[in-house]
Amino acid sequence: MRELDPNLMEASAEFATSGRADASPSTACLPWPVGRKQKAPLRWSDLWRAPFHDFPIRDEILYQYLPLTPDMDVLEIGPGSGITAFRLERRVRHVALVDAAPLNIAKLRETLRNAARFSMHSVDVCAPNLRGILGKQFDAVYALEVFEYIPQPGECLKNLAASLKPGGKLLLQFPNYPPSRTGGVTYFETKQELDRLMEAAGFEQWRFLALKLRPGARSLYDLFHERPLRFYRRLRTDNGNPRPQTYEETWAFRKSRGIERLRIPLNAAWMLLGALVHLAGDAFEARPLENSIKDCNLLVLARR
């Protein structure tokens, strides 16, 4: 996956001053209940088998807000390093991956070798007839930190709705900040803009929420992830480059071959950090958005 967007460490001024009670959405206002606790299933073999990756704290959004069952077929848009799919396949029946970057799909075919549990497609998510290309419909579709890079958000949403079974679930998370801040191309000034796209795509029900890290998770993440990596990033020679828009362009993808020797100690460090985050409770909290949706880390939950 991409490095975590700094916007996940921040919140709008309104959210930052809201009380804890206001930051916990009632399940009655969401397209489906989210009260059941879920965690990423871990095994000791992940130390040497898991794909080389950055700490996937974004995955906690998936486990907190998307109920998963063993009979589900799931579609991931923008799989990055493949760590999310690597862990998710233990909870569901099948995981399909879509990435516009052919080199990353080729790498994932090497990394994720359980062919019975995965299918991989190098295709633009805005391409016509995505459902036909994928060859099936899914119980759930999700995209984490991807939608801000989609140049045709309306076409993308139509494709995602068509790729869902009736009643299927969509989870989108992305920083809805101006492109000058995210490096992306898609940003919504008003809730009505995104409402129109959701309706035109064919979704029956949707909800917008503002996300931020809870204080405990934020402190742990900053102390054991951001501070060490801030120091390390100062040593990199490519810090002046624009923020990458595809996983192939990221430093992690370009340099992963040369630092594979660090896989086991890094995976051990991320497993320990994940355990500490879980001790602090849920990593994220969310506040329902009724009017403005701009300048926040946006979570979209929708049902076809």
Place of tokens 């790498």: 107
Among residues 196, 204, 208, which one has the least CA distance to residue 171?
208
Write the pLDDT tens digit of every residue in 38-81.
Answer: 888 888 989 988 888 888 899 999 999 999 999 999 999 999 98
Q: What's this model's pTM, rounded to 2 decimal places?
A: 0.85
Give residue 13's pLDDT: 35
Terminal alpha carbon distance of the chain? 27
- Is the pLDDT confidence value at 36 over 70? no
Distance CA 75, CA 198 (A): 18
In the chain, where the domains are located: 6-303
Total count of residues recorded for the chain: 304
- Write down the mean pLDDT value for the chain: 84
Give the pLDDT of residue 113. 77
Those residues whose C-beta lies under 8 Å from the C-beta of residue 62, and which sit 6 or more positions away, are 84, 88, 142, 144, 171
DSSP line for 232-260: HHHT-TTTTSPPPSSGGGSHHHHHGGGGG
pLDDT tens digits, one per residue of 172-181: 999 999 998 8
Domain covering 6-303 assigned CATH 3.20.20.70 in the classification = no
Of 56, 252, 273, 272, nearest to 173 by C-alpha is 56
